[in-house]
Amino acid sequence: MTLFQDPDAVPRTAASRLADVLDAFGAVGDRAAGNAPGTARRKAAAAVSIARATGRTEDDANALYFAGLLHAVGAIGNLGLRRGNAFSDRTATMARWDFPADGARVCAGIAALPSPVADLVRWQAEAWDGTGFPDQLRWHGIPAAAQLLQLADIVARTTEPDEALVIVGGLAGRGIGPDHANAFVRWFHLTGGEVEPVAVPLDALRADATPPAPLVDLLADRIDAHNAAEGRRLRITRVADAIAERIGLAVAERDALALATRTFAAGELGHATAEHEMFDPLARLGIAERAENAAAAADLFDGNETFAHAAEILRARAAWFDGTGEPSLLHDAIPKGAQILAAAIAYDALESHHRTQIREDRTAPADRLDTAAGTQFDPAVARALLDVTKAHA
């Protein structure tokens, strides 16, 4: 299922679309790291505000914006956070110290970003006294802009401005250099510690250097790795695309569905167990949990224009055709893409379970799913899935 192929979609500049994909990376990174929603955007805005108030160049401010936005991408797929890891607490903690370095590697692979971004992400957790990570830089060996990003992190994680001021004061001379702590105080007095939204510096992106579609696929693969479900999005995308083609889904709907198949599992990040491992995908037991994961994935893309239509699909994918799911949409009130995504997810879970069984009389996944036509699934979608699976049997 190819991304960004709808000729009738609202025109977007290449830079705007790429910026939306980077924003999605930032939001998913926050969820993987356990940060509050919106931390990445707030950190990006705080970094720009502090940079401008302390006399940094606009190039520095632009690099700090994207470093703030992508500050937690290293958490997606991190070994210490992956589902099912058998590490001791100590080993898991050490693995989590690799967040910045792994995030820097991701950023270094995105040629469109300003060149300092990768280093800023790598060194954002270094401490003035040399006790930070991953490289234990100290004193003036820590780039000044990386210290500003650390200050922005404190602002982004506090709910009251005075709280950030107290934290920075306590870290002066240890985690934060004295000059940077003083600069933060000046910024605080200028702004009252309030962070205003900033415009995305689109001109700082070399959009022709990084197509957005492979970047979305990279995000999807890292989500699968984090959830210990490598290859899942590929399987679900293939099934969903085949159903969409068979029922004649409009191009615009297929474009949104392509994004949804790649990002639905972001709602499961942070859970010890995948939803299909807890409940039979055709059982009513588990509706609330599936709806919670669906809403969590959709919420990640709040305010993201490129992902807005996909978010509608994500949010509705736990609805049942007969109106008894969550949300309680009925029949055609459920976006067709959501109905296809729900069927593809359920089929993949059934197929995965089916492959592990040794009984000769086990029911084929498509046949099981067909029994839920008219209740859980749109009959047309269920028939199309049955046709598709038989054609490839």
Q: What's the number of domains the chain is made of?
A: 2
**Pair 167, 98 in one domain:** yes
Residue type, 71: H
Task: Tell whether 231 and 200 lie within a shared domain.
Answer: no
Same domain, 261 and 188: no
Residue whose C-alpha is closest to residue 383's, from 246, 283, 236: 246
Q: Which domain holds residue 258?
A: 227-391
Does residue 219 lie in a domain region? no
Q: Are residues 136 and 197 in the same domain?
A: yes
Tokens 């879970």 found at: 349
CA distance 236 to 27: 22
380 with 284, same domain: the answer is: yes
Q: Are residues 265 and 379 in the same domain?
A: yes
The CATH number of the domain where 35 resides is what? 1.10.3210.10
User: Does one domain contain both 239 and 308?
Assistant: yes
Q: Are residues 56 and 175 in the same domain?
A: yes
The pair of structure tokens assigned to 131 is 């006790």
CA 318 from chain centre, in angstroms, equals: 19
In a domain, 199, yes or no: yes
Answer positive or negative: Cα dihedral of 322, 325, 326, 328: positive
How is residue 133 written in tokens?
A: 């990570």
166 and 310 housed in the same domain:
no
**What is the residue-level pLDDT of the chain in tens, covering all 393 positions?**
668 875 555 556 889 999 999 999 999 999 999 999 999 999 999 999 999 999 999 999 999 999 999 999 999 999 888 887 777 777 777 777 888 999 999 999 999 999 999 999 999 999 999 999 999 999 999 999 999 999 999 999 999 999 999 999 999 999 999 999 999 999 999 999 999 999 999 999 999 999 999 999 999 999 999 999 999 999 999 999 999 999 999 999 999 999 999 999 999 998 877 787 777 888 888 899 999 999 999 999 999 999 999 999 999 999 999 999 999 999 999 999 999 999 999 999 998 775 555 444 455 787 888 899 999 999 999 999 999 887 765
The whole-angstrom separation of Cα 184 and Cα 163 is: 13
Same domain, 21 and 165: yes
Residue 278, pLDDT score: 78
Query: What is the 3 state secondary structure string of 134-179?
Result: CCCCCHHHCCHHHHHHHHHHHHHHCCCHHHHHHHHHHHECCCECHH
My answer on whether 240 and 381 are in the same domain is yes
One domain for residues 23 and 91: yes
Number of Cβ within a 10 Å radius of residue 387: 15
Q: Where are the alpha helices (DSSP H) in 248-335?
A: 251-263, 275-278, 287-299, 308-316
Give domain status of residue 9, yes or no. no
